[in-house]
Amino acid sequence: MQPLNWKPARRPERAPLQGESVRLEPVEPGRHAGELFATSEHAPEIWDYLAYGPFPDQQVFIDWLKERAASDDPLFYAVIDRATGTARGMASLMRIKPDNGVIEVGHIWFAPTLQRTRQATEAIYLMARYAFDDLGYRRFEWKCDALNQPSRRAAGRFGFVFEGIFRQHMVIKGRNRDTAWFSIIDGEWPVVRAAFEAWLSAENFDREGRQRRSLADVRDSLGRLSE
């Protein structure tokens, strides 16, 4: 077996990731807690498949967010809508293994107004681009509760490849969790990246902000061109 021409990846830095419609800022409770709590307070379903939440009051949420902000792995980001400057969700880079070139996106929760939007797609794109292009990772993972069909559909839409189910992987909130595993690897990333960029372009949206082509359609067409 030929050795890889491989150099370890770099660890993520605690710095913002800038996009056109969203900005990902490392979580700071003093700046983000109020908006994030307000975002989640009236949408308890956000927490159905996560190991934490819902939170009984804002102070409990602030205490929880302070622990998240102190962590480097996971490294938590607040997702900021650039049009309003408002924090509308969170995501993280986690299970960071520079020597093997593996990193995961997780702890994703978005306000209902952010879900299935251009901003939500750009948030995932920014994290993937940072992992592959800036930090040099070769595998970008997505894992979720196997029962979480919206998360599984989102992973497929974003270009992650389904790899299987890890049975009885965890116990979450007193119940069994089977975990669905997905990934994008570096050889797939050029087509996935090009599809994200083509889909996110202004030309792909009409005056009402509706997509002209789906992300999956764009990626499929680019994949055929690359064959």
pLDDT band at 71 (very low <50, low <70, confident <90, very high): very high
**Token pair for residue 91?**
């995501």
- Percent of the chain beyond pLDDT 70? 97
Mean pLDDT across the stretch 66-76? 97
Q: Which fold has domain 17-186?
A: Aminopeptidase (3.40.630)
In angstroms and rounded to an integer, the radius of gyration of the C-alpha atoms of the chain is 18
Domain ranges of the chain: 17-186
Residues 6+ apart with CB under 8 A from 118: 21, 200, 205, 209
pLDDT of the residue at 8: 96
pLDDT of the residue at 42: 83
pLDDT at 3 over 80: no
Q: Is 176 helix (H, G, I), strand (E, B) or coil?
A: strand
For every residue of 68-128, DSSP letters joined together read HHT-SSSEEEEEEETTTTEEEEEEEEEEEETTTTEEEEEEEEE-TTTTTSHHHHHHHHHHH
pLDDT of the residue at 74: 98
pLDDT digits (tens, 9 = 90+) for 131-170: 999 999 999 999 999 999 999 999 999 999 999 999 999 9
Closest by alpha carbon to 224, among 199, 194, 204?
A: 194
d(CA 73, CA 12): 9
pLDDT at 128 over 80: yes
Q: Is 140 helix (H, G, I), strand (E, B) or coil?
A: strand
pLDDT band at 25 (very low <50, low <70, confident <90, very high): very high
Closest by alpha carbon to 70, among 10, 130, 27?
A: 27
Average pLDDT, whole number, for the chain?
A: 94
> What is this structure's pTM?
0.95
**Token pair for residue 33?**
């807690």
Question: What residues pair up with 24 in beta bridges, in sequence order?
Answer: 17, 79
